[in-house]
Structure 1
């Protein structure tokens, strides 16, 4: 009886998708269903995003009832729009992290299966826009009580993605300044010589 199904029906699928957890991203991409509504909205979004002359604001709001798939859509969209830092894209069983190209190829195959050639073309065009996606839970990063909590959270994630020490904005600024002056690597070498440990271990 099981042979009549295209996919393995005994495979365990996690019913809850967490946007900030990429431990099972390959499975989540493979199992993602492009409904008619999602196809329509993706077409509209990518058509605007891919157009360099569009004068729209750059904010997008994803809304829906609890359990409607907002986190799953957000995660898929983040991998479509840009490359994700390696540390945020690891998969189970020590498999190689899934790449942006692989995610888009998977979505293009789903669009082709739905005979939606417009979406297929938009996905292909989007891949030619170089970008990096930084997906994070702002509530777990922002410091409560700070007047600049929102901005600080964005800066921290951005610094982390660039290899700076986002956990301390003053240390991160030092690293940025040294990097801009072309002295960061020399500084790291000198620090390790004097402290007997690498800068990545000592900067905290």
Structure 2
């Protein structure tokens, strides 16, 4: 590719980026990529850091996220009662976008690589938030949610009414608290 063709491509990319609002996943703006010349893999340029928006994060959760209440029993101790845990996970094949989401909110979460199978064309990653950090994410994005608004409200109600974040004491939770948590677990399950 000649310098003239590259300049034309960069100018076209800059023109197209001026006509639309850029977002964190914008890969069409080659002008900034060409000037940075940082390549992550052959043919892929490292994107410049975009400004973070909570509204963008909410849209990302609406489209790629999962708000859930986990119910589990530890198999090592069958006498142990059921436990419930609030969680939110976001699955994506672009690690930079997940890191941008996590850093923009400033809430601690874990990013894991999903084990690749024959069905995966690209590496997939999961960003997980659990417990109080999941609640913080949900509260931050809830005003902007559309599709998952009811799930977010159910998660907040679960946290408040299910006495999450509190210690049960040596006798464990009273049956009323366990029943409340189970009710919210079933409600969240029905919203899926």
**TM above 0.5, one fold?**
no
Higher helix share: 1
Name the one with the larger strand percent. 2
Give the TM bin, normalised by the shorter chain: under 0.3
**Greater CA radius of gyration, 1 or 2?**
2
Instruction: Give the alignment's TM-score, normalised by structure 1.
Output: 0.25
